A and B are shown apart, each in its own frame.
Chain A
């Protein structure tokens, strides 16, 4: 018997297998079409703009576009001694074009960032060209070199050559307090100017400790909520859910009131005689404020996943542990605790992810020593307007978060996130 005779046909005479595949494909397309609007919307307004942050952060085309002839001529130059005549010719004609377009100032500023002293010598060159002091029938190289001794210094030409590639990693290096040295190697910034590394470490430290505090405070109450009878636990659950639903700014404002020097917490300390009235400790605008406020704000995100896991653990397991001769502590440690590990993982990862990107609370109660990397990003977006640096730092933070998100997805699964 051949296989064809075994084939089952539908009423239209099409093999069932083909017909089924067609129907499956139709269903697949149908399902995808339902997701498509949101997916498309997110890609256009969200995913691509994040990608654009990357191009913005590595973009260094400005000089590449300003000095095309110079870089063409520099291709043949080995970069060890002063460049040949053609490079000077190229630079001279490029620079003349820039003067005509009145954009020569930008070149000077940008080159000055690469090597100090460029601004003044490019200005000098500009004045010479504007006064028609340069005779194009003579050697351009000799005339430029005569304008200022720095034009005779090979290091300045090497600096120009370094700006040739249209892309740069400089912003990322700057985010880690490093820079590209003159010989192309990666060097460390002077010790007293390493501000970003401190911020990264502080962000990690605060996120880590907030996670630990949330865990230490969240575990007992999640356990209590899960073991109490429904009518009591529902009431206590409000204590967790009301802060969860309340505006972040309201909660931050209440901490600002509580923690200020004349605030309620300090009043209480004075009342019980812990501190003297005239030496009230500063609890806001420093790390303490950030820790306290962030722990309270993120605590519900720890309690809810823990609670949903603990709710599924049968109380008879603990009783069995005890009846088999374990003390309550051993029964808890050997039976109950291992069963709650999925909840601990979910809660800790969620709190850590949220804490590492926190912005509002540290900005309001953190002061100078309690601010995080997010505050630095906002500072560069709004104040210095160095958007490419802000993008680079944002992406460095994002890559860290995505790694944790990936782990979270592996451990918990994003489709298992529960809300409330």
Chain B
């Protein structure tokens, strides 16, 4: 940002101060993520930069912990990753179906008690996770679904649907309902209209809601800690145990993989958001 030449000195100083603050905040936000990369290649067993790493000695770096993560004996990461992906995928599908249907209903101008129902549907996002965890645990224990994949998937559907509801409702707010009426007047049945007309138009919103639901499930640990047995362990649960008990650099190798995954998700989400804004004509 260039300043006009007539700017007084004190505003000039203030401006550079402001830029300095912003730089610091951006650094504060992003830098912690980057400390993980180099440390995950540590050849030693400690979570600190060794003397060798500070000198950039190639011998101080190794793929040891990545090897450990994949081939280590008795290591829990394989099972955890499998569980995490299975649970997240099913929870995402469930959230998308329930959330999209609800968003379609909520966007109809005939919907009664819209505000109240919306508040209830969004509540799992607002209520502290620990309370959701306790309540869901009581329910799952009563119906015998505690320590099962089904139970955890259901719990994650509860936590994931608000995101789908929000993103799809937002997409539908710019939706031209006359196109569905046109389809109906041309003789299309409601299911066909939805599949051929509505769904392709709201797809960016559905997918980005699905991404939120996926990340929520993939990252969720509080509720899983209440529900999971040994067989249902997930990546976040393993990281939680690891961080509490034996801090091993394997965790950093896993964390690096997760950061790469989240970068991919971020790029997808951003592309979708821009596409959706372009489609709705709000590109600024």
Same assembly: yes
Binding site for B on A (CB under 8 A): 24, 27-28, 30-39, 41-42, 44-50, 52-53, 56, 217-218, 220-221, 224, 227-228, 230, 236, 238-243, 245-258, 260, 262-264, 267, 296, 299-300, 311, 328, 353, 356-360, 363-364, 374, 377-378, 381, 387, 390-391, 394-395, 397-398, 401, 405, 408-409, 413-415, 417-420
Contact A394 B131 (CB under 8 A): yes
Partner of B29, one of A263, A299, A415: A299
Q: List 14 A-B contacts (CB under 8 A).
A: A27-B110, A41-B158, A42-B158, A45-B158, A217-B25, A249-B243, A251-B33, A263-B48, A311-B284, A374-B128, A387-B134, A390-B134, A401-B126, A419-B208
Partner of B265, one of A38, A46, A245, A255: A245
Nearest to A394 among chain B residues (CB) is: B131
- Interface flags, B118-134, vs A, CB<8A=1, else 0: 11111110111111101
Shortest distance between the CB of A250 and any CB in chain B (Å): 4
Which residues of the other chain, B, contact A364 by a CB distance below 8 angstroms? 240, 243-244
A20 to B140, CA, bound (A): 45
Shortest distance between the CB of B51 and any CB in chain A (Å): 12
Which residues of the other chain, A, contact B165 by a CB distance below 8 angstroms? 38
Tell me the B223-244 residues at the A interface (CB within 8 Å).
226, 236, 239-240, 243-244
Interface residue? B81 (CB, 8 A):
no
Contact B219 A264 (CB under 8 A): no
Contact B236 A247 (CB under 8 A): yes
Contact A417 B166 (CB under 8 A): yes
Which residues of the other chain, B, contact A258 by a CB distance below 8 angstroms? 32, 35
A364 to B121, CA, bound (A): 31
Contact A409 B32 (CB under 8 A): no
Contact B135 A53 (CB under 8 A): yes
Interface residue? B280 (CB, 8 A):
no
Which residues of the other chain, A, contact B263 by a CB distance below 8 angstroms? 242, 245
Which residues of the other chain, B, contact A239 by a CB distance below 8 angstroms? 26, 29-30
Shortest distance between the CB of B272 and any CB in chain A (Å): 9
A398 to B106, CA, bound (A): 26
Nearest to A267 among chain B residues (CB) is: B49
Contact B129 A357 (CB under 8 A): yes
Chain A interface, DSSP helix/strand/loop, else mixed: helix
Contact A253 B239 (CB under 8 A): yes
Which residues of the other chain, B, contact A374 by a CB distance below 8 angstroms? 128, 130
Which residues of the other chain, B, contact A53 by a CB distance below 8 angstroms? 131, 134-135, 138
Interface residue? B182 (CB, 8 A):
no
Contact B105 A32 (CB under 8 A): yes
Nearest to B20 among chain A residues (CB) is: A220
Q: A243-B33, A420-B273 are known; give 14 further A-B pairs, CB within 8 A.
A: A28-B111, A35-B102, A38-B98, A38-B161, A39-B121, A45-B136, A46-B124, A53-B138, A241-B269, A253-B243, A256-B247, A357-B131, A414-B118, A417-B122
Interface residue? B99 (CB, 8 A):
yes
Shortest distance between the CB of A399 and any CB in chain B (Å): 10
With known contacts A242-B262, A254-B33, A419-B212, A34–B101 Cβ distance under 8 A: yes
Top 4 nearest A-B pairs (CB, nearest first) are A357-B128, A34-B105, A31-B108, A35-B105
Which residues of the other chain, B, contact A405 by a CB distance below 8 angstroms? 119, 123, 126
Shortest distance between the CB of A241 and any CB in chain B (Å): 5
Which residues of the other chain, A, contact B104 by a CB distance below 8 angstroms? 34
Contact B130 A260 (CB under 8 A): no
- Interface flags, B24-63, vs A, CB<8A=1, else 0: 0110111011011001000000011100000000000000
